[in-house]
Homo-oligomer: A and B are copies of this chain.
Amino acid sequence: MTFQYSLLFEFTKSILIKIGCSEKDADLAADVLLSADLRGVDSHGVARLSGYVRLWEKGRINATPKIKIVHETPSTAVVDGDSGLGLVVAPFAMQVAIEKAKKVGTGWVSVKNSNHYGIAGYHAMMALNHDMIGISLTNASPLVSPTFSKERMLGTNPISVAIPAKAEPPFVADMATTTAANGKLEILQRKELDAPLGWVQDKDGNQTTDANGVKKGGALLPLGGDREHGSHKGYALGAIVDIFSAVLSGANYGPWVPPFVAFLEPDPNPVGEGIGHFLGAMRVDAFRPADEFKSNMDNWIGRFRNAKPIEGQEKVLIPGDPERELEAERKITGIPLIKPVVEDLRLLGKRFEIEFPI
């Protein structure tokens, strides 16, 4: 079933207003959430709306947070999200980073006391219109085992970097630091297909093709998959994201990160406040004239796009290409939602007396 963007947007915004968000916050949060659906990261979009509502019911999300800077220097800040929606807290923090970059060249903001912030790329891309490079990291509920571990210690801890170009569209990397994102496993689960080896390990730490392996006590594997293929690098990247997001800010880190699902209780002895993010902005002209930089980026992008492709394979892509194409398409043709998500949203609409479109 396919739904027009504007209808899903209005529905999402109305629900968020019902739980107490201001008009402005509901508008922003709906924009962030729906950008995931547009860009094809369906697992992080409107499918999660009822999950956020359940966290609000549990008192774990504050719909009217007083988000504030609690520490700062000319190029840095720590933001306290006051348990707000990460969808609102992260754009606030990114804006702080951008303002600092305007003044001293770069801005770096570590965030505590937040919640899930949607797709990492949304926040990084906020920098682009300012001729800045944007960086966005977040930690997340522990689902990933470091190399040699059978215990889940890290989230899928994504890294997003958005870099402006001139005539070319921007370079936008947005990736989990695991071999595959959880959303890819969910697709296999629904189709009852096996996962490739290198994505998942079982509860004893053996690699498995069971797409339900994580639900059965196993774990996602860090990018690389196994030691021989560099999983220690994926683990290190996930660890860096965790430390920048949470140890720098005073949020919960590693296995203490609160679960996204409301039916699991957070650790009774937290080591910090909420979950953490890290947002950065670098003014391009803090290094060299913006026009020179962006012309070079055009050349970089053009050259990579025209790298000789392997016979029988696709052309070389620039990070962000597939998501941008999908976004353009879905804005016109609408956003496809699977049946369980539609049913979930209908129930949510019923409860808050907001009609779900069709």
Are A108 and B110 in touch, CB under 8 angstroms? no
Count of chain copies:
2
Q: Which of A48-56, A58-66, A307-315 contacts B (4 or more CB under 8 A)?
A: A307-315
Q: Which of A26-34, A84-92, A278-286 contacts B (4 or more CB under 8 A)?
A: A278-286
Are B171 and A288 in touch, CB under 8 angstroms? no
Are A223 and B228 in touch, CB under 8 angstroms? no
The answer to whether A299 and B271 touch (CB under 8 A), given A148-B314, A307-B151, is yes
Lowest 3 A-B CB distances belong to which pairs? A205-B310, A73-B105, A173-B236
A145 and B236 CA atoms in complex are apart in Å by 23
A297 and B246 CA atoms in complex are apart in Å by 10
Are B179 and A229 in touch, CB under 8 angstroms? yes
The answer to whether A292 and B250 touch (CB under 8 A), given A78-B287, A205-B311, A297-B243, is yes
Are B240 and A173 in touch, CB under 8 angstroms? yes
A324: shortest Cβ distance to chain B, in Å? 14
Please give me the residue from chain B that is nearest to A320 by CB atom: B236
Q: Interface residue count for A (Cβ, 8 Å)?
A: 86
Since A173-B233, A225-B229 are in contact, a sample of 14 more A-B pairs with Cβ atoms closer than 8 Å, ordered by chain A residue number, is A73-B286, A74-B75, A76-B282, A147-B316, A148-B313, A150-B308, A150-B309, A153-B303, A159-B237, A223-B233, A224-B229, A236-B319, A237-B237, A250-B288
The contact of A255 among B272, B282, B303, by CB within 8 Å, is B303
A80 and B315 CA atoms in complex are apart in Å by 35
The answer to whether A104 and B307 touch (CB under 8 A), given A78-B288, A147-B317, A253-B300, is no
Question: Can you name 17 A-B pairs with beta carbons within 8 Å?
Answer: A74-B75, A75-B106, A146-B316, A148-B310, A150-B309, A163-B243, A171-B239, A173-B239, A175-B230, A205-B311, A223-B223, A223-B230, A225-B229, A232-B319, A248-B288, A248-B293, A249-B287
A180 contacts chain B at the CB level, 8 A cutoff: yes
The answer to whether A232 and B317 touch (CB under 8 A), given A108-B106, A173-B240, A309-B148, is yes
A248 contact set on B, CB distance < 8 A: 284, 287-288, 293
A186 contacts chain B at the CB level, 8 A cutoff: no
A331 contacts chain B at the CB level, 8 A cutoff: no
Are B71 and A287 in touch, CB under 8 angstroms? yes
Are B106 and A76 in touch, CB under 8 angstroms? yes
